[in-house]
């Protein structure tokens, strides 16, 4: 089915203490001491945590560091697929109508571009962008008034997708990039995708569930993780083979793929901390289509890896954006 997009033409030892080598340390998630990490587990886990900023855990070394220092004006961040570029957005002191976007090199912090963004419909300034796979575009996911906005990296407008079949987006809708700078996004009860120039969208899957969301595609664009009710499911990019891959007596809230697509970083034991806040614990599972018990109390399935940096004794906790680069 083809959906018409209304747009503005002009707006054209080891990683985890529980998996370390020493037999004197705590047992691993499968009950063994000294369980080796999979050889193909690699990359950097990035996640928000309250007043500590954006934290990072290197899955090869197990070392934890501060990736972005805490900033009360920050609205969000993204990192390019190759890890070389960092995109941040934040409030501007004294300017209540706009936000500042900064694209910088992760290696030395040097600024590649910086611009002030004014939502075209006067919507909320609390927004953040996501870098396209080829690092040429910035997509701002749906907000209350704006729909989906695509800019170039200098802040110049490319397209503004305000509605699908004349139905506007709402604040629950989300959007992600696919290869070829295509977009994967939600709209009401549907998951849709649109390729440049973003004039039409095609149906991926109708979601007839009371509660679902948090879509996250693999970097090759072949699979999608999605939360349905309290658990994480995987499906193919055409909407087929929907399979539940997490189990627990609690709730999982999101999952992101490893760069090689073989693993998922999952937000487990999700719980609310207030009207707008929530926290969750980080665990890794294989993205092999099997169901893994990630419960915080009952024994986990073999292969579940709790994210515990070297030298620490507790599972890492997140409360915002979560990436694997």
If pLDDT is split at 50, 70 and 90, which confidence band does 251 have? very high
Residues 6+ apart with CB under 8 A from 14: 20, 21, 36, 37, 62, 310
Confidence of residue 144 (pLDDT cuts 50, 70, 90): confident
Q: What is the structure's pLDDT at 124?
A: 81
Q: pLDDT tens digits, residue range 50-100?
A: 989 999 999 999 999 999 999 989 999 999 999 999 999 999 999 989 999
Per the structure block, which two tokens stand in for 137? 């575009």
- Residue 25 pLDDT greater than 90, yes or no: no
DSSP 8-state secondary structure symbol assigned to residue 321: -
Looking at residues 135-156, what average pLDDT do you find?
A: 95
Give strand pairing partners of 194: 183
- pLDDT of 181: 98
Write down the pLDDT at residue 268.
98
- Spatial separation of the C-alpha atoms in residues 145 and 186, rounded to whole Å: 16
pLDDT-derived band at 15 (thresholds 50, 70, 90) equals very low
pLDDT of 247 strictly over 60: yes
Mean pLDDT, the chain, rounded, equals: 90
pLDDT in tens, 158-217: 999 999 999 999 989 999 999 999 999 999 999 999 999 999 999 999 999 999 999 999
- At 22, give phi and psi (nearest 5°): -70, 135
**CA-based angle 279:48:226, to the nearest 5?**
65
* Distance from C-alpha of 215 to C-alpha of 125, rounded to nearest angstrom: 23
Under a CB-based contact definition with an 8 Å cutoff, are residues 140 and 129 in contact?
Answer: yes
pTM for the full predicted model:
0.89
What value does the mean pLDDT take over residues 243-272?
A: 98
β-bridge pairing 246-247 and 292-293: parallel
For 120-211, list the strands marked E by DSSP: 130-131, 137-143, 147-152, 157-164, 167-168, 175-178, 182-187, 190-194, 200-206
Mean pLDDT for 214-237 is: 98
Q: Is the pLDDT of residue 26 over 90?
A: no
**CA–CA distance, 132 with 74 (Å, rounded to integer):** 20
State residue 37's pLDDT score.
84
DSSP per-residue codes, 215-268: EEE-TTSSEEEEEETTEEEEEETTS---EE-EE-SS---EEEE-TTSSEEEEEE
φ, ψ of residue 147 in degrees (nearest 5): 75, -150
Closest-CA residue to 142 (of 167, 170, 121): 170
Beta bridge partners of 320: none
Residues 130-144, mean pLDDT to the nearest whole number: 95
The alpha carbon of 211 is separated from its chain's Cα centroid by a whole number of angstroms, namely 18
Residue with tokens 């006067």: 122
Q: Which of 144, 192, 141 is nearest to 170 (CA)?
A: 144
pLDDT for the residue numbered 33 = 34
pLDDT class of 272 with cuts at 50, 70, 90? very high
Greatest distance between any 2 Cα atoms in the chain: 64
For the segment 6-19, the average pLDDT, to the nearest whole number, is 40
């Amino acid at each position: 089915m083809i959906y018409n997009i209304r747009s503005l033409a002009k707006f054209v030892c080891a990683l985890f203490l529980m998996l370390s080598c020493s037999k004197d340390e705590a047992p691993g998630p499968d009950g063994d001491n000294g369980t080796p990490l999979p050889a193909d587990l690699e990359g950097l886990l990035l996640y928000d945590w309250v007043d500590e900023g954006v934290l990072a855990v290197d899955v090869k070394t197990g070392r934890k560091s501060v990736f972005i220092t805490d900033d009360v004006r920050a609205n969000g961040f993204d990192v390019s697929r190759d890890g070389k570029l960092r995109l941040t957005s934040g409030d501007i002191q004294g300017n209540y109508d706009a936000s500042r976007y900064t694209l910088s090199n992760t290696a030395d912090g040097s600024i590649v571009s910086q611009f002030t963004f004014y939502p075209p419909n006067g919507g909320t300034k609390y927004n953040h962008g996501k870098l396209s796979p080829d690092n040429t575009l910035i997509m701002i996911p749906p907000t209350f008034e704006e729909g989906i906005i695509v800019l170039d990296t200098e802040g110049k407008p490319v397209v503004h997708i305000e509605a699908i079949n004349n139905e506007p987006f709402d604040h629950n809708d989300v959007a992600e990039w696919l290869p070829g700078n295509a977009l994967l996004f939600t709209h009401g009860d549907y998951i849709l995708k649109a390729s440049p120039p973003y004039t039409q969208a095609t149906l991926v899957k109708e979601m007839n569930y009371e509660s679902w969301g948090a879509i996250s595609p693999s970097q090759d664009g072949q699979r999608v993780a999605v939360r349905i009710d309290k658990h994480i499911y995987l499906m193919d990019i055409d909407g087929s083979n929907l399979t539940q891959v997490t189990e627990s007596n609690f709730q999982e809230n999101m999952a992101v793929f490893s760069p090689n697509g073989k693993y998922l970083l999952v937000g487990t034991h999700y719980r609310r901390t207030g009207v707008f806040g929530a926290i969750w614990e980080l665990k890794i599972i294989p993205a092999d289509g099997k169901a893994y018990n990630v419960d915080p109390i009952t024994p986990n399935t073999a292969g579940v890896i709790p994210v515990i940096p070297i030298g620490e004794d507790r599972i890492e906790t997140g409360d915002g954006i979560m990436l694997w680069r």
